[in-house]
């Protein structure tokens, strides 16, 4: 499988065109009905000085429609059903690499939610590769945002075909930064392994020191090495062999400045499904009942419940 070159020529799109392609495809897919945004209202829950964002499925949505939304957002019961082989051409954004394409997330809560998908089938539990980072980094170069990966069903993955995701910032019109941004600013030295003081559970956090105008392969080689180091830091034994499977589920989050990894032990807190975005303070609930659970129990309790205990704990 070819690699992108350090000068970026391995990318299959013209420089500077990627985010415009996202916007154009989203506009046309909305008109055709191929893109079906999930209607939500956004509330906040304060804990430890953080305003956690909670998207609640719109109460005006009919109960029958809410059930359909829940079913289509949840993982398919039949693993043979693969929405990426073939993918819906009306959701296609761009070829990224010989190994990856970019698609719109059909059922998006955040506008311009992008899926970075392997062209051929790879398991979601396979460890990430240089090509995965190159494909995701292309969007971080194109637009300020958060890249993330749900490593397995227990980490919130809805499909078994390997796909990374990207959402642009801001997450909410009411704020420019991510909810836990102020805590991350003090979480680690400019370089090197650190931790986030907000989290009492096992995780890894580092600033990566890469710049959007640096050669992509140089950047992503650094990111790949950091990713493997952080997996080892949280207890995973890895060899780096292509196609190697993860030993436990985890979430990865990546920004232009930092990387975070959180090992997982389950998907749900009560009935609430939590994916990678929960660890930057953005959660989704199906109804007011689930919001009340979070409001009572608090988001950090939910996050701790779904994470993997540290070795020996």
The total of structural domains in the chain comes to 1
Distance, in Å, from the CA atom of 308 to the CA atom of 313, rounded to the nearest integer, reads: 10
Q: Predicted confidence band at 4 (pLDDT cuts at 50, 70, 90)? A: very low
Q: Where are the beta strands (DSSP E) in 152-255?
A: 163-168, 192-194, 204-207, 250-254
Q: Predicted confidence band at 58 (pLDDT cuts at 50, 70, 90)? A: confident
CB 22 within 8 A of CB 114: yes
Q: Is 313 domain-assigned? A: no
Q: Is 12 domain-assigned? A: no
The CATH number for 137's domain is 3.30.428.70
The model's pTM? 0.92
Give the containing element (helix H, strand E) for 116. strand 114-118
Q: Does 177 score more than 90 pLDDT?
A: no
Give the containing element (helix H, strand E) for 299. helix 299-306
pLDDT tens across 241-271, in order? 999 999 999 999 999 999 999 999 999 999 9
Give the pLDDT score at 194: 74
Q: Is 3 domain-assigned? A: no
CB 281 within 8 A of CB 50: yes
Q: Is 8 domain-assigned? A: no
Give the pLDDT score at 63: 63
pLDDT tens across 104-118, in order? 999 999 999 999 999
Query: What Rg value do the Cα atoms of the chain yield, rounded?
Result: 19
In the three-class reduction of DSSP (H, G, I as helix; E, B as strand; rest coil), residue 229 is classed as helix
Give the pLDDT score at 100: 98
Q: Does 182 score more than 50 pLDDT?
A: yes
User: CA separation (Å) from 20 to 13, 16, 143, 216, 313?
Assistant: 11, 8, 10, 20, 48
Q: Is 301 domain-assigned? A: yes
Give the pLDDT score at 106: 95
Highest mean pLDDT among 8-17, 63-72, 99-108, 193-202: 99-108
Q: Predicted confidence band at 313 (pLDDT cuts at 50, 70, 90)? A: very low
Highest mean pLDDT among 74-88, 183-197, 258-272: 258-272
Give the pLDDT score at 183: 86
Give the pLDDT score at 1: 32
Give the pLDDT score at 53: 96
Share of the chain above pLDDT 90, in %: 77
Give the pLDDT score at 309: 82
Q: Is 312 domain-assigned? A: no
Q: Is 86 domain-assigned? A: yes
Q: What domain range includes position 216?
A: 18-306
DSSP single-letter state for residue 48: T
CB 140 within 8 A of CB 166: yes
Partners of 102 in the beta sheet?
94, 116
Q: Does 55 score more than 80 pLDDT?
A: yes
What is the pLDDT averaged over residues 39-48?
Answer: 94
Question: Can you read off the two tokens belonging to residue 178?
Answer: 């991510």
Q: Is 5 domain-assigned? A: no
């Amino acid at each position: 499988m070819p690699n992108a070159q350090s000068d970026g020529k391995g990318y299959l799109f013209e420089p500077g065109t990627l985010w415009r392609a996202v916007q154009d495809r989203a506009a046309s897919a909305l008109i055709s009905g191929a893109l079906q945004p999930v209607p939500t209202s956004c509330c906040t829950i304060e804990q430890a000085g953080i305003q956690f964002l909670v998207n609640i499925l719109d109460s005006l949505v009919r109960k029958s429609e809410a059930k359909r939304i829940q079913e289509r957002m949840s993982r398919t019961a039949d693993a043979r059903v693969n929405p990426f082989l073939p993918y819906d051409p009306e959701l296609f954004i761009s070829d990224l690499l010989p190994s990856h394409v970019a698609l719109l997330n059909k059922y998006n809560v955040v506008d311009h939610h992008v899926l970075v998908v392997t062209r051929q089938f790879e398991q979601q539990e396979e460890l990430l590769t240089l090509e995965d980072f190159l494909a995701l980094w292309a969007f971080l170069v194109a637009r300020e945002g958060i890249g993330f990966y749900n490593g397995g069903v227990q980490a919130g993955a809805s499909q078994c075909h390997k796909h990374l995701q990207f959402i642009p910032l801001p997450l909410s019109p009411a704020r420019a930064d991510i909810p836990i941004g102020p805590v991350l600013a003090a979480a680690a030295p400019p370089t090197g392994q650190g931790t986030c003081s907000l989290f009492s559970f096992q995780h890894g956090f580092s600033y990566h020191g890469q710049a959007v105008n640096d050669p992509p392969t140089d950047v992503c080689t650094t990111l790949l090495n950091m990713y493997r180091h952080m997996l080892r830091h949280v207890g995973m034994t890895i060899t780096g062999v292509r196609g190697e499977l993860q030993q436990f589920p985890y979430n990865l989050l990546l920004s232009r400045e930092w990387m975070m990894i959180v090992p997982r032990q389950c998907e749900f807190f009560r009935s609430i499904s939590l994916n990678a975005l929960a660890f930057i303070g953005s959660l989704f609930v199906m109804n007011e009942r689930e919001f009340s659970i979070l409001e009572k129990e608090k988001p950090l309790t939910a996050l701790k419940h779904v994470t993997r205990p540290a070795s020996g704990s």
